[in-house]
Amino acid sequence: MASRAHLEKIDGLARGALEECGLAPERLGLVAVTDSPGLAGALLVGVSFALGLHAAWGVPVTGVNHLEGHICSLFIDRPDIKPPFLALLASGGHTAIYMYTGPGKYELLGQTVDDAAGEAFDKVGKLLGFPYPAGRAIELEAAKAAGAGREITFPVARFSSPKRFCFSFSGLKTAVKNFISTNGAEYINDNRPEVCAAFQRAVVNSLADNLEAASGAYGIGKVAVAGGVACNGYLRDELARRFGAKNVAFPPPHLCTDNGAMIAMAGYMMYESGRLRFPKMDPGRGI
């Protein structure tokens, strides 16, 4: 289904983007395309389309890692951010901490061993009757608790070395499921804001605790957060409280979820640093 949707929409989206920007094909200097990780069929559609543009227009092409794209989304509105910094990538498919020292230079410090943070939001949201995606709905519902519901607590997984900066959200999801089952529908309906607040607090504490631990271990006080979960206001407030507002960077909300601008930015930074995935080719020669 994803591959078919890509096939149906990619041409119109590309044409629309060029028309909206008032750009002719001959003015393009580079095409950046996600080549990993992701669904193989969807990636194949994107890469094939990019290579088609190269063949037709003679524009060089570079592959971009999707996760690097999320990190590079930070630089679109914040070109002032200077490495080194710790980057927390939290989305529906990924949750990881990277040490970023420059374009293409990032070290994985820890990642989820099961569910991603955004995936946990969506699965718990389904248990609580929210539509997909559920992250924003849970955040808004949790805000209604207004500090109440602190008596409800859910477990946060902890790891020792060598996985001390890793995450696990599967147990948290199961804990919420068991809590709902034990207390019944009437209790949940009456206390949904408090349940949402307790769940959100558990996720945010897990993310913030590991990021804070990594900051102390590597002596890096600047942190950045990217990915869909970076839209969460409670997470933003908690990290600003722990690290200081000046030491925390987020993309604007419209650049937190998957988008083409972050891939373009990553491709541009790869070009600037001389690390294009594919060499520049002459029209018609293929790859």
Q: Is the distance from CB of 230 to CB of 90 less than 8 angstroms?
A: yes
Q: What angle do CA 199, 251, 253 make, to 5 degrees?
A: 60
Q: Which pLDDT band holds residue 120 (cuts at 50, 70, 90)?
A: very high
Q: Which pLDDT band holds residue 148 (cuts at 50, 70, 90)?
A: low
How far is the C-alpha of 129 from the C-alpha of 113, rounded, in Å? 26
- Could you read off the pLDDT of 13-22 as tens digits, one per residue? 999 999 999 9
Instruction: State pTM to two decimals.
Output: 0.89
126 token code pair: 């389904």
Domain edges within the chain:
2-69+260-272, 82-253
Mean pLDDT of 86-114: 94
Assess whether pLDDT exceeds 50 at residue 281: no
Assess whether pLDDT exceeds 80 at residue 284: no
The fold for domain 82-253 equals Nucleotidyltransferase; domain 5 (3.30.420)
Q: What angle do CA 68, 69, 72 make, to 5 degrees?
A: 90
Q: CATH top-level class for 2-69+260-272?
A: alpha beta
> Do the strands 61-65 and 105-111 form a parallel or antiparallel pair, or are they unpaired?
unpaired
How far is the C-alpha of 283 from the C-alpha of 47, rounded, in Å? 16
How far is the C-alpha of 121 from the C-alpha of 167, rounded, in Å? 14
How far is the C-alpha of 13 from the C-alpha of 232, rounded, in Å? 28
> Do the strands 31-36 and 61-65 form a parallel or antiparallel pair, or are they unpaired?
parallel
Omega within 30 of 0 (cis) for the link into 103: no
CA-based nearest residue to 203, from 110, 69, 109, 112: 112
How far is the C-alpha of 77 from the C-alpha of 263, rounded, in Å? 14
Mean pLDDT of 137-158: 86
pLDDT for residue 150: 72
Question: Who wins on pLDDT, 204 or 287?
Answer: 204
pLDDT for residue 61: 92
Q: Is the distance from CB of 91 to CB of 262 less than 8 angstroms?
A: no
pLDDT for residue 116: 96
Same topology, domains 2-69+260-272 and 82-253? Answer is yes
